[in-house]
């Protein structure tokens, strides 16, 4: 068994309205040091395999095909176990 953690984030070139709203909220609470907020997704996947290379290749496919929309999102993942 391996555990994969996938992070999907909005590309730097694309405006993240949620992040902007949260930044505004933080500012109004007095956290003036917040220069920017970007909101993304965090996913945990449990994989029934021990082959690291294969798991990586297949995770990349999962990200490209479904987990991220590469028009506006970037992804990265970590593999454990």
Partner 1 sequence: MKFAVLVFPGSNCDIDCYKAVEDVLGEPVDYVWHTATDLSAYDCILVPGGFSYGDYLRCGAISRFAPVMAEVAKAAEEGKFVLGICNGFQILTEAGLLPGTLRRNMALKFRCHDTVLRVENNNTPFTNDYAPGEEITIPIAHGEGNYYCDEETLERLKENGQIVFSYVSNPNGSVIDIAGISNERGNVVGMMPHPERAVDKLLGSEDGKRMFTSILKAWRDRHDTATVR
**Smallest gap, in angstroms, from Cβ of residue 52 to partner 1?**
25
Residue 34 or 52: the one with the smaller Cβ distance to partner 1 is 34
β pairing state of 2-10 and 41-47: antiparallel
Nearer to partner 1, 1 or 71 (CB): 71
CA angle 6, 11, 32 (to 5 degrees): 100
User: Which residues sit at the interface with partner 1, rule CB under 8 A?
Assistant: 13-15, 17-18, 21, 66-67, 69, 71-72
**CA-based R_g, the chain, Å:** 16
CB of 46 to partner 1, least distance (A): 18
Give the residue with the Cβ less far from partner 1, 21 or 34: 21
């Amino acid at each position: 068994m391996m555990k994969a953690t996938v992070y999907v984030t909005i590309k730097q070139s694309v405006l993240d309205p949620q992040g902007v709203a949260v930044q505004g909220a933080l500012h109004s609470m007095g956290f003036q040091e917040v220069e920017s907020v970007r909101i993304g997704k965090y996913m945990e996947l449990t994989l029934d395999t021990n082959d690291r290379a294969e798991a990586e290749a297949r995770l990349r496919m999962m990200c490209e095909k479904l987990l991220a929309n590469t028009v506006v999102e970037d992804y990265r993942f970590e593999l454990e176990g």
